[in-house]
Chain A
Amino acid sequence: MARKILFNIFAWMVVLMVAFPLFWMLVTSVKPQFELFRRPPSMLPETVTFEHYWRLLSDTNFLGYFWNSVILSTATTFVVVTIATIGAYSLVRFRYRGRETLAFLVLFTYLLPSVVLILPLYLMLVELGLSNTITSLVIAYTTFALPYALWLLRSFMAGIPEDLESAALVDGATRLGAFKDVILPQLLPGIISTALFTFILSWNEYLYALVLVNSDESRPLTTGVMNMLISSFNIEWSLLMAASVMMSVPLIIVFAFLQSYLTRGFGAGGVKG
């Protein structure tokens, strides 16, 4: 019993440690300027103001960056999930020479630190005439999200009984038809997990965005906000916190919607034995 209480206290302490910065971010973003640096700091704001949010939306290019990030993350997710789904199907269902080796090679590329790849990728993208575009970031993010996505989906795919596909073929479906009618619905939880992973990764990525994109109209949120609000003379803390809140909201919404899919036992009861 005592152990249980101790464990609970410990768990709550960890939760508080994780949650406090988020709480502080939220509080700071609604504090008026004059309350920001008061000592001792006020835990809850005395006056709540949304002026920072308003300034961010009306006076800065925040919405432009936001839109770039949405396009960038959605495109990357779409490309990665499409290629990974088809690739995983091939790795699990077809028999060909070097199949396992191929899977391990793919994993190996994931093990390389992404910093190592940044210069070669940059040079290649300049060569292709894609520097300073959102497309260049989609390609770059795909290179490091795809290997992991492929492995994730491969294990989901391996969990789908082969009999289901055989049954669809006997029932008159073509290979593609069986894939669409039977495999894809079964793979949905896996696809959603993979999509979430890729989306979050592209949404939060900073380093590649910093190196590959230098024009303001192509910048995503991460580098855009930093560039705009942090200069060597001044950090606009209130605006930065308001921007951080607004950057986090889409992820929280997406996660809240898809979370039930992730945990739902989708494939239960289809085959026995």
Chain B
Amino acid sequence: MADVVLSNVNKVFGTFTAVDGLNLDIRQGEFVSLLGPSGCGKTTTLRMLAGLEFPSGGEIRIGDRMVNDLAPGQRDIAMVFQSYALYPHMSVGQNIAYPLKKRGVAKAERTAMVAKTAEMLQLTPLLNRKPRELSGGQQQRVALGRALVRDPKVFLLDEPLSNLDAKLRGYMRAELIELHQRLGRTMVYVTHDQLEAMTMSDRIAVMESGKLQQFAPPQVVYREPANRFVASFIGTPGMNIVDGELLQENGRWIFQSQGFSVDAPNLGPDAQSGAAAMGIRPEGLSIGTGPIEGVVQLVEQTGHENIVVARVGDGLRMTGRTNPDQPVRAGETIKLSIDANKAHFFAEGATGKRLNKAAATSDGPAKSQSALKEATS
């Protein structure tokens, strides 16, 4: 059952279109990330879901209600802000109790619910402190507590981890996944960090310039990016994208670029001769043998692998991964080959469509993943 539905939603600020014809169908209990660079409209979308901005057009439904004109307090949502937005003059306990108080929950019941939430988030010893006396991680948990205490239908999270240091962020990521599994509530999570989106989500909605680029499970977004933008945005190190030309030779498709050409075996019916781009992830590039010659510019050691950046031809940079035991040094000339079966081909332009044959199903893994979650919770 769909829990949150956005149909053809627009948001215009003056002459600037922040969100453009957005359609999203979020299932009950699903963890969905809105992912994109800053200014892509993801936060505006979340604020429209919260009722803090009103859409210029389209329809937003939560559960079975149309909520376009409902005030935030009437939508049965809770939100965690990037800045945490804790009330500075209230203690931790009062902060967590505030949404209950505003909904007329009796005092005794309120105290019990706050105590339960505080215990779940290990905030019990801090209940009488003021927000300014807490560390960043603790403030973050208070903000979560204020959202959790009411057991709303939908949780909205606006880059909640971006103010934490790297180690704490990893820890909170795991906490949030666990929390989502335990509560089974719908969560909409805004982030510009693709690692967070990949690790936490059931499905990722990739946005750019106010438009939805792809809405699919993490693995699908990674393996079958809908277009060049999604391909370049997802993955660290990023996908190598080479501009060139598609040609047809004796019934075979060939991609040709500066000084090398690759077979394009899996093209779908949309493929056309002419300007195009090829994308290959670092793991699709083998270093050692092959027809392409490059000069190593940089070797980044991460411990379990080395990331090699090489210059090919006229200023084209290609990134590959190697085993740390394989000696590659900066300045060395190396041979590269491209695994044609792992290559993606895109039509011309920054959001050029992917031209590969469609894979079996793009919807399957999401269902099985949430089914798995329901089974475990």
Residue ranges of A at the interface with B (Cβ–Cβ < 8 Å) = 161, 163-164, 166-174, 177, 181-182, 185-186, 266-273
Contacts and interface: CB of A to CB of B under 8 A. Distances in A.
Interface string B163-196: 1000000000000000000000000000000000
A271 B89 contact: no
A271 B132 contact: no
A185 B98 CA distance: 15
A269 B89 contact: no
**Which among A164, A166, A186, A267 has the highest number of chain B CB atoms within 10 Å?**
A166
B52 A169 contact: yes
Contact of A164 (B52, B79, B87, B103): B87
B83 A163 contact: yes
A164 B85 contact: yes
Contacts of A166: 47, 50, 52, 72, 79, 81, 85
B132 A270 contact: yes
A252 to B, nearest CB: 28
B51 A169 contact: yes
Interface string B46-84: 010011100000000000000000011100011101111
Given A170-B72, A172-B73, A270 B86 contact: yes
Contacts of B211: none
Given A163-B81, A166-B52, A273-B83, A266 B89 contact: yes
B335 interface: no
5 contacts: A168-B98, A170-B77, A173-B73, A268-B88, A269-B134
Contacts of A185: 87, 89
A98 to B, nearest CB: 16
B11 to A, nearest CB: 14
A174 B74 CA distance: 10
Given A163-B81, A269-B130, A271-B83, A171 B51 contact: no
Nearest to B146: A171
A270 B102 CA distance: 20
A171 B102 contact: yes
Interface in B79-136: 79, 81-89, 98-99, 102-103, 130-134, 136
B88 A171 contact: no
B227 interface: no
A272 B139 contact: yes
A267 B99 CA distance: 21
Contact of B163 (A168, A170, A269, A272): A272
B52 A171 contact: no
**Which among A169, A267, A271 has the highest number of chain B CB atoms within 10 Å?**
A271
B32 to A, nearest CB: 18
A121 B352 CA distance: 70
Nearest to B81: A163
Given A161-B85, A186-B89, A269-B131, A171 B163 contact: no
B99 A171 contact: yes
A177 B104 CA distance: 13
A23 B112 CA distance: 60
**Which among B77, B83, B162 has the highest number of chain A CB atoms within 10 Å?**
B83
B88 A266 contact: yes
Contacts of A182: 87
Given A172-B103, A269-B131, A163 B89 contact: no
A270 B71 contact: no
Given A168-B87, A182-B87, A185-B89, 10 more contacts: A161-B85, A163-B85, A167-B146, A168-B98, A170-B51, A173-B73, A268-B132, A269-B88, A269-B133, A272-B83
